[in-house]
Structure 1
Amino acid sequence: MKIGTLSLRTGVSTRLLRYYEQQGLLHPHREANGYRSYPEGSVERVEQVRDLLKAGLSTQIIRDIVPCFTGSGETLRPIADPVLAANLAHELTDIQRRIDALTDKRDAIRSYFEAAAMPGAASDGGCTAAS
């Protein structure tokens, strides 16, 4: 199928499909006239890529792991692979570390906010918010 057809079937712009190709996520065949020709499985591949991007994975990671999945959407299933499992575990650990750091920052700011918003909080008139 041509890139325009793939775009219509997946709802992904042709520009983004070309980007996916550039990132090694799609592998169309080139016809003699230079046109891209995508195999039927490209629809599922684009759906997999979109699902994994929504999960927060980078295109670099997706390029490495997307061959380890079948299906898309609700039917997306991993093919058993210990390296894939280890990579995903690393990503989960990294995401959790970032969430924990943001949670700590949020809690610290909330603590300062609650102290500043308390009725009767001391004010010497010289405390103003910096812009």
Structure 2
Amino acid sequence: MKIGEAARVSGVSARSLRYYEDEGLIVPGRCGNGFRDYCQSTIDRVLVVRSLLESGLPVRLVREALPHLAEGTDRGTDVVCEEFLHEVRSYRDRLAARIAVLVEQQSALDAYLRKARRTDP
């Protein structure tokens, strides 16, 4: 299917599909005229990519994970997947630390605003 239909079927914009391709996340086929040709397996991969990106993972981690998500479950894949899960946990922990800082800043601003309201004429 062409990019417009692939966008409709996957729920991802044509622009996002091009971006995923530019980032090496998907590799659509090409027709004789050079147009992109999306098969069902590429659409399935697009859905996985979108899900991972929407969860907040950076493109770098998604790119690293994709080959292993498509492979079978052999011993080598288990090790790589464990490494990937470690990176995801680490990313989540860094995100939680950033959220904690933002919550502290928000609380400080709320306190400032409460104090400012009390001193308004």
Give the TM-score, by structure 1 length. Answer: 0.73
Gaps of 5+ in 1: 71-78, 126-131
- Where do 1:19-58 residues align within 5 Å? 19-58=19-58
Q: Distance in 2 between matches of 1:23 and 1:10?
A: 18
Q: Distance in 2 between matches of 1:68 and 1:29?
A: 21
* Aligned partners of 1:26 and 1:45 also within 8 Å: yes
Aligned partner letter, 1:25: L
**Identical amino acids, percent of aligned pairs:** 33
Q: Is 1:11 matched with 2:45?
A: no
Aligned partner letter, 1:97: A
Q: Which structure would you say has the larger Rg?
A: 1
Alpha-carbon shift at residue 85 of structure 1 (Å)? 1.0
Alpha-carbon shift at residue 117 of structure 1 (Å)? 1.9
Q: Distance in 1 between matches of 2:87 and 2:39?
A: 28
More helix per residue: 2
Partner of 1:116: 116
Q: Distance in 2 between matches of 1:66 and 1:91?
A: 17
Cα root mean square deviation, aligned = 2.2
Q: Deviations over 1:63-93 (max 9, x none)?
A: 11233446xxxxxxxx741111111011101
Q: Distance in 2 between matches of 1:55 and 1:3?
A: 24
- Where do 1:100-115 residues align within 5 Å? 100-115=100-115
Alpha-carbon shift at residue 105 of structure 1 (Å)? 0.5
Alpha-carbon shift at residue 22 of structure 1 (Å)? 0.3
Q: Deviations over 1:91-118 (max 9, x none)?
A: 1011111101101101111121222223
